[in-house]
Amino acid sequence: MSMLTPPGMGGKYKVTGAAYPRMTRPRRRRRIVLVVLGSIIGLALIAYGAVQLIDVFGGDADKRKTAAAAKDCATPAPKAGSAASAAPASAAPRVVLPPPGGITVNVYNATPRAGLAKAVGDELKSRGFAIGKVGNAPADFDKKVPGAGILVGSPQTDKAAFSVLGTNLAGATQQTDTRETADIDLILGDAFQALTPKADADKALAALANPQPAPAKKC
């Protein structure tokens, strides 16, 4: 009798060879395994969907910017000799400035130095400006201008006229009063040494008339 044969049992109940009773996994354990696997798959699908939504809604703006930049950089340059190549696309328009002869300047001396207003007036006249009154500064400014000078005009005075005259005196400040005429007062202050050299003033005037174009966009 085999050791696997229960006592008192023999014959057809005898366990021999490779024949063993079939062992089956309980159904409850199988159900738990399936539930766990289903939960893991569900969570994975939810996470994947969230990532896709973030990519769609959060990345659209960046994609549009990248596409626009690529389109700008891909624009072919105009051929030589064409109308488009005659002037740079980013070139600033030329500024129309009043000529010095169209600006009347009154030169006033607010310093203790005698003859300063006349000397400066003569120099400005040689540079093409129209010279009006020349003399000592009004009481409101006499000995009260610590800087190089002040440009005084009407609120309606063309701002470009201030700029043209200002190229001849670096550091001059600007202000307005109640006058209704287009003339501009140049009031010389204690820090005044000399007018800007004519060559430098001409360069500054040219820069005002021809602003530098905006730098080209790098791709």
Q: Name the CA dihedral angle for 206, 209, 214, 215, rounded to a multiple of 10 degrees.
A: -10
Please state, in angstroms and rounded to a whole number, the distance separating the CA atoms of residues 200 and 206.
Answer: 10
Residue 15, C-beta contacts closer than 8 angstroms, at least 6 positions apart? 2, 4, 5
Which has the closest alpha carbon to 173: 195, 200, 150?
150
| pLDDT score for 84 | 47
Close Cβ partners of 189 (under 8 Å, ≥ 6 residues apart): 110, 111, 145, 146, 147, 148, 149, 150
Cα distance between residue 119 and residue 186, in whole Å = 13
- 73: tokens are 């950089």
pLDDT in tens, 46-95: 777 666 656 555 555 566 666 666 565 555 555 555 544 554 555 567 88
Give the pLDDT score at 69.
60
Neighbour count for residue 91 (Cβ, 10 Å) = 12
pLDDT at 40: 83
* Cα separations in angstroms, 90 against 72, 94, 128, 136, 205: 13, 12, 33, 48, 21
For the whole model, what pTM was predicted?
0.59
Interval 137-183: pLDDT, tens: 999 999 999 999 999 999 999 999 999 999 999 999 999 999 999 99
User: Is the Cβ–Cβ distance between 2 and 15 less than 8 Å?
Assistant: yes
